[in-house]
Amino acid sequence: MTFTPGITGLLVIGPYNDFISEGGKVYDRLKGVAEANNCIPAHRPPHRAHLRRGDRRYGAELGYQVSVVKDATTSYSDDHMHAALRVNLPNYAAVVTTDEIIDAIRSAQ
pLDDT digit string (tens) for 22-61? 888 888 888 888 888 777 776 655 544 444 545 547 677 7
Select, from the ranges 4-13, 44-53, 86-95, the one with the highest average predicted confidence (pLDDT). Answer: 86-95
The answer to whether residue 103 is domain-embedded is yes
Provide the mean pLDDT of the chain. 78
Query: pLDDT at position 46, please?
Result: 54
pTM (two decimals): 0.62
Question: How many domains does the structure of the chain reveal?
Answer: 1
- Residue 45 lies inside a defined structural domain of this protein: yes
DSSP annotation string for 56-98: TT-TTTTT---EEEGGG---SSHHHHHIIIIIIGGGTSEEE-H
pLDDT > 70: what percent of the chain? 79
Which is more confidently placed, 33 or 83? 83
Residue 22 domain flag? no
Residue with the bigger pLDDT between 108 and 57: it is 108
Instruction: Tell me if 81 is assigned to some domain.
Output: yes
Question: What domain range is 67 assigned to?
Answer: 27-108
Rounded to whole angstroms, the Cα distance separating 89 from 109 reads: 28
Least confident residue range of 9-13, 72-76, 77-81, 96-100: 9-13
